[in-house]
Amino acid sequence: MGLTYLRPSFRQTVRGMRDFLPEDAWKLRFIEETARRLARLYDYDEVITPVIEHYELLAAKIGEENRKRMYVFEDLGGRKVALRPEFTASIARLVATKMVSAPKPIRLFSVGSLYRYDEPQLGRYREFWQANYELIGSSNPEADAEILSLTGDFLSSVGLKNFMIKVNHMGILRGIFESEGILENEQNTIMQLLDKKERDRALKLAEEYGASGKCLETLKSLFEIGGNDKNSVVNEISEAVKDYPVAINSLNNLSKIIDLIEYGDLRANLYFEAGFARGLEYYTGIIFEAYVPELNIAVGGGGRYDKLINLFGVEMPAVGVALGMDRIMLAMEKQGVNPPKSETARVLVIPVNESTIAEAFKISTMLRRSNIIARMETMRRSLARSLSDASRRGITHTIIVGPKEIREGKVVLRDMRSKSQIEVKIEDLPNKIKT
Ligand code: AMP
């Protein structure tokens, strides 16, 4: 009977999907570990939600662009489901249905893979990873400031430098549109265009939706405002939107949030851009995106969404951030930042011939039980080849298990860095390797 090989086209990963080889998996897990450490430091509790959710839940407020890119299918039970394109909808569902009576605020952390049928390119994948933090139950500026501060700490903790966090407040633009009687879904379409920096088209559309000449002028002047100096930007925006009181309230809110951010140098990393919007429809307050100079795509983004949880009939203001772990990994590579190499000893146990395989196996087990990272040579290579294999792998110690030494209850312990070796009693191995 002939063997049927898999067709070459099926040997590749599906377009937009990636394998993480050990070095990349290590980097991704390092970022994840940093994310988890930060969650502990800021006292966020981890929750795990399913990758598959009802389509209706995920589609509700995600915005047209992302809605079109969802992986949607019918499961065998005939339900219309989708792979999650973000965490926030799941978190909102979880909080509104299972944590309504939990003491406020609720601080939640989640990490995992997400799915969007984006056009694959550098930093844009169909399966990608996010670390996600949500602070639910408080509408006060200190909650927004905490999320911003966490974002800055995250980026510094993985070793990134010169990052910039672009901020704006959805209430400024929405306040103007509301005063002009532009409907929410019309506003959403304008925001999608602004998100893509298609400002001329956004203005044209606003005009079509009935925006006044004064409104268009206000928008144009807002699009020109940007900078690092909070006070001067706030003054400029304030001047531009003076005829729109709702927008002024939002500006004051933004100003209060930023005033809280004094600690460290995060404030120097903030950049205010009055024409900046985000495509996700649920944002109601501050919005932000993080960038590094080496990449022109955001490494993270977030904002306040006070109405989303309302979809479940529960009123709960919330603010959150999603950090794109794949893009952070790319940014680290671009900046030459590597996860710290572990200094831990790694041991290769080498039986010199078949007669000592069982002993070598036993010693490997004993080492692992003493918490020492150990692998056994299982290719039956010669001693010389085993040693060069150990060097190639960056092994710190080898244990050479020979028949003569074993008869005396001993083995040879070789330090691969100094190339010195000593005879050691088997029971003394853990101590010798640790010191
Ligand atoms: P969003 O949920 O759109 O606010 O995205 C938050 C973060 O997730 C972005 O800033 C990116 O870092 C990351 N992200 C979004 N879409 C993708 C994608 N297709 N591939 C990789 N990372 C992504």
Question: Residue by residue, what is the 3-state secondary structure of 112-165?
Answer: EEEECCCCCECCECCEEEEEEEEEECCCCHHHHHHHHHHHHHHHHHCCCCCCEE
The residue written with tokens 């966020």 in the block is 44
Q: Which atom of ligand 1 is nearest to the CA of 86?
A: 2
Amino acid at 278: R
The pLDDT averaged over each successive group of 10 residues in the chain (435 residues) is 83 95 95 98 98 95 87 98 96 96 97 97 96 98 97 96 97 94 93 92 94 94 94 95 93 95 80 91 94 97 94 94 98 94 90 97 97 97 97 96 97 96 97 83
The pLDDT, as a whole number, for residue 343 is 78
What residue owns the CA closest to ligand 1's atom 15? 324
CA of 375 to the centre of ligand 1 (A): 38
Distance 9 CA to ligand 1 centre (A): 28
Q: Which amino acid is at 89?
A: A
Q: Which atom of ligand 1 approaches the CA of 300 most closely?
A: 10
**Which residue's entry shows tokens 């985000």?**
278
Q: For atom 1 of ligand 1, which residue has the closest CA? A: 301
| Closest protein CA for atom 14 of ligand 1 | 324
What pLDDT sits at residue 159? 96
Task: Measure the CA–CA gap between 356 and 400, rounded to whole angstroms.
Answer: 10
Q: What is the pLDDT of residue 263?
A: 64
Nearest alpha carbon to residue 28 among 381, 330, 374: 330
Alpha-carbon gap, residue 211 to 283, rounded angstroms: 22
Atom of ligand 1 nearest to the CA of 279: 3
d(CA 41, CA 147): 13
Q: Pick the atom of ligand 1 nearest to 66's CA.
A: 3
The angle subtended at Cα 190 by Cα 188 and Cα 196, nearest 5°, is 105
Cβ-contact 122, 340 below 8 angstroms: no
Could you give the angle at the alpha carbon of 26 between the alpha carbons of 161 and 361, nearest 5°? Answer: 150
Residues in contact with ligand 1 by the CB-under-6-Å rule are: 86, 116, 118, 123-125, 128, 130, 298-301, 322, 324, 326-327
**Dihedral, 310, 314, 315, 318 alpha carbons, nearest 10:** -70
* Cα–ligand 1 centroid distance for 123 (angstroms): 9
Distance 265 CA to ligand 1 centre (A): 25
Give 330 Cα–ligand 1 centroid separation in angstroms: 13
Residue type, 67: R
Contact between residue 106 and residue 99 where contact means Cβ atoms under 8 Å apart = yes
120: left (phi over 0), alpha (psi -120 to 50) or beta: beta
Query: What residues are paired with 286 via a beta bridge?
Result: 169
Q: Verify cis geometry, omega within 30 degrees of 0, for the bond prior to 103.
A: no
Beta strands, E only, 244-317: 270-273, 286-291, 300-304
CA of 299, closest atom in ligand 1:
12
What is the number of the ligand 1 atom nearest to the C-alpha of 328?
Answer: 12
**Atom 2 (ligand 1) nearest CA:** 86
What is the distance between the alpha carbons of residues 423 and 94, in angstroms, rounded to a whole number? 59
Contact 196, 298 (CB under 8 A): no
The pTM of this model reads: 0.92
CA of 122 relative to ligand 1 center, distance in Å: 12
Pick the closest to residue 360 from 318, 323, 402 (CA basis): 402
Q: Rounded to an integer, what distance in angstroms lies between the CA atom of residue 257 and that of residue 140?
A: 9
* CA of residue 166 to ligand 1 center, whole Å: 15
Residue 1, pLDDT score: 60
CB 104 within 8 A of CB 138: yes
What pLDDT sits at residue 61?
80
d(C-alpha 432, C-alpha 149), whole Å: 44
CB atoms within 10 A of CB 105: 19
